[in-house]
Amino acid sequence: MNLILMGPPGAGKGTQAERIVAEFSIPHISTGDAFRAAMKQGTPLGVKAKEYVDAGLLVPDEVTIGIVRERLQQDDCKGGFMLDGFPRTISQAEALDEILKSLDSGIDHVVNLKVDRGLLLARLTGRRICRSCGATYHELFNPPAKAGVCDKCGGELYQRSDDTEEKVGTRLDEYLNKTAPLLAYYEAKGLLRELNGERDIDEVTAELRSLLRGQD
Ligand code: AP5
Ligand code: ZN
C-alpha cells in the first residue's frame, strides 16, 4: 500500500506513522527525519537544509524531491511505503506523480489529519523526542513514565530546535501558504481522505487503521 500522510505541523503524522508502518510492515519515509539526520551528521545536504529547517521554512523543492526520488527507487519500497511530510508543495506533488509513474506505481491513499491551529501550538511546544531511538512524546498528552527518559530504550529526551513558539508560527504560515493548497490537488484526483486528528492518539490510530483496511 502506497500512502501519504498529510496534515499541518504537529497534527500527529510522525506519531501515527510510527504505529502504522509497524503494523503494515512498510518503510516510513519522513523528509523531516531525513533532514534532521543529515544535519546531525553535518553532510552537505545537512548544512544546506539547516538554514531552512532552523528558520521554520520549507527546504527548496529540488533538494527535497531528489531525496525522495532516491529513496523510492530502493527495493524495500516495492511492497508499499508511507510518506510523512512529503509532498508539501504542488511542485513536489507533481514530481512525485512522475517518479511513481516511472516506477509503474501510484498512490493508494492520501490521509489528511485535521487539527485546529490553537491545539497545534500546544502539541509542538510540549513535544519531546528520544535522542537514541527517535520515539515521540509529549509533556502533557503523552508523557514518558519517567520525565526526560524514553520508555522504549532509556534514551535522553530533547526538544527540537524548531519547536519554539516563534518557529512554530513560521511553520504554520508555510503550511497554510504552500501545503494546504495540496488538499484540493488530491481531492480532485479522488484520493483524499480526511481524519479528525484532535482525538486521543489511540483513537486516531484506530480510525486510520480501519480506513486503510477499508472497513470504515
Ligand atoms: P517535519 O519533521 O516534517 O515537521 P512537521 O511537518 O512540521 O511535522 P512535525 O514533525 O512537527 O509534526 P507531526 O505531524 O509529525 O506531529 P507529531 O506526531 O510529532 O519537517 C520539519 C522541517 O523539515 C520543515 O519545517 C522543513 O524545513 C523541512 N521539510 C520537511 N519536509 C519537507 C518538504 N517536503 N519540503 C520542504 N521542506 C521540508 O506530534 C506532535 C506532538 O503532539 C507530539 O508531542 C505528540 O506526542 C503529540 N500528539 C500527537 N498526536 C496527538 C494526539 N492525537 N493527541 C494529543 N497529542 C498528540
Ligand atoms: Zn528511545
DSSP letter string over 97-166?
Answer: HHHHHHTT----EEEEEE--HHHHHHHHHTEEEETTT--EEETTTB--SSTTB-TTT-PBEE--TT-SHH
- Considering 48, 160, 193, 209, which one is annotated as catalytic? 160
In this prediction the pTM is 0.94
Characterize the bridge pairing of strands 109-114 and 2-6.
parallel
Query: In which residue ranges of the chain is pLDDT below 50?
Result: none
Q: Which atom of ligand 1 is nearest to the CA of 17?
A: 18
| Catalytic annotation present for 40 | no
CB atoms within 10 A of CB 168: 21
Please give the distance of CA 1 from its chain centroid, rounded to a whole number.
17
- Closest Cα to atom 12 of ligand 1: 10
CA atoms within 13 A on the CB side of 118: 0
Ligand 2 centre distance from Cα of residue 132 (Å):
5
Establish whether 117 is a catalytic residue.
no
* The 192-196 sheet, strands edge to edge: 28-30, 81-84, 2-6, 109-114, 192-196
Instruction: Show the domains of the chain with their CATH numbers.
Output: 2-116+178-212 (3.40.50.300)
Ligand nearest to the CA of 132: 2
Ligand 2 centroid to residue 124 C-alpha, Å: 19
Q: Is 83 in the pocket of ligand 1 (CB under 6 A)?
A: no
**pLDDT (0 to 100) of residue 214:** 85
pLDDT of residue 216: 55
- The pLDDT assigned to 215 comes to 60
